Amino acid sequence: MSDAIALLEHILAANALLTAFAFVGVVMWISAALSRYLTLGRIHGSAIAIIIGLALAFGGGVWSGGKNGLSDIPMLSGIGIMGGAMLRDFAIVATAFEVDVVRARQAGAIGATALVLGTILPFIVGALVAYAFGYRDAISLTTIGAGAVTYIVGPVTGAALGASSAVMALSIATGVFKAVLVMIGTPFVAKAIGLNNPRSAMVFGGLMGTVSGVSAGLAATDRRLVPYGALTATFHTGLGCLVAPSLFFLGVRAIMG
Amino acid sequence: MTISGVALLAICTLIGGFLGDLLGAWLGVKANVGGVGIAMMLLIAARLWLARRGALSVGVESGVGFWGAMYIPIVVAMAANQNVVAAVESGPMVVVAAILTVVACFAAVALIGRLSSATETMDEIEARQNAARAEGGAA
């Protein structure tokens, strides 16, 4: 019996990346079920999956005493490859293929304004909160500010600037918590902020950013608004990844000295 | 061929990374500056160019599309790699930052809506489309 377990451990460790695919697949599947049956679709499955991922990283960190979350467990080292910089950047670039340039132009100046505002505003708020909580170095302030833009911009920025893993985790957690708040909060504030037409949906997508937050939040408000919001939101991460580690970092560094 | 899509994506990602590193060196930040964003723009440009030449095959689309669809699972794996133990020990900053950000953005959506001219709501658009359809059916 113990021979069989040893063999199983061996096959899982020897095929680390495949183990990671299977493992993350099961997490996604459980998350989709939780989203459907526990929250009646109000919280997007992907947001639940990311929260589970962070929770597992916590468990992995406590269990192994290491700094790399779940991938410090030998059998699950493939999670480190799957979620590492190479495949992460590869997959993010791939999403640009879905951007429809003609329809994007129709979003017009107001969508672009919202997009720029939606990158600057969260960044400033995030960086100020980080400052208030005692962070003083430009890399940490920029990474946490970028996390307030989206949970992708945060780690991409942090990785580019060489932020510590703890700051990266804070940055991702800020972005994920923001996405969850957008998903849950949108239906309740929709009326007050005039979210009932395509133009305001585009403004909303540009300002709130997170594609999962925007698409789930709008779906819970009015399904017909989803494509308009997603249209501007798809630009959000790309814009953030472009300006956060460059312009914003240089700005923060100039202020902090 | 599916591999052409995967290769196109890899080439764009590599060029973007290279240009990002170059830009970083040029700006003196010793970091990759906007490499992912540059790669995304290259891929959009490549897609438009291929589409104009009628060379955007199903294989190319599926090669890129697969990795685009893997983006959320990869982000989940990335989340599972983070040093969450250290983040949790740092306390309520995450909650405060996220709440303030969302409130500020909701307020900005409302403000832009108030400042710009009135527009057709989704209900009005649908009502107009239904009316046009009914008229077309009657004629």
pLDDT digits (tens, 9 = 90+) for B60-74: 999 999 998 887 888
| pLDDT of amino acid A140 | 94
Chosen from A48, A82, A97 to mutate, greatest number of chain B CBs within 10 A? A97
A64: which DSSP letter? Answer: H
B55: which DSSP letter? Answer: -
Give the tens place of pLDDT for each residue, A69-107: 888 888 899 999 998 889 988 987 887 787 666 655 665
Per the CB < 8 A criterion, the answer to whether B108 and A121 are in contact is yes
Do the Cβ atoms of B75 and A181 come within 8 Å?
no
Q: Determine the length of chain A.
A: 257
**Residues in Cβ contact with A140 at an 8 Å cutoff, skipping those fewer than 6 apart:** A130, A163, A164, A167
Chosen from B62, B74, B76, B125 to mutate, greatest number of chain A CBs within 10 A? B76
Give the tens place of pLDDT for each residue, B13-72: 999 989 988 887 886 665 666 777 788 889 989 999 999 998 889 999 999 999 988 878
Q: Where are the domains positioned within chain A? A: 1-83, 102-257
The nearest CA of chain B is from the CA of A152 a distance in Å of: 8
Q: Say whether the ipTM exceeds 0.90.
A: no
Residues of chain A with pLDDT under 70: 1, 99-108
Nearest CA in chain A to B47: A97
Nearest CA in chain B to A197: B121
Do the Cβ atoms of B84 and A173 come within 8 Å?
yes
Do the Cβ atoms of B104 and A151 come within 8 Å?
no
Taking each helix axis from N to C end, the angle separating A165-189 and A45-64, rounded to the nearest 10 degrees, works out to 150
Q: What is the residue whose two structure tokens read 């329809």?
A: A103
Q: CB-CB: which of B9, B100, B107 is closest to A90?
A: B9
Do the Cβ atoms of B83 and A241 come within 8 Å?
no
Chosen from A21, A23, A86, A93 to mutate, greatest number of chain B CBs within 10 A? A93
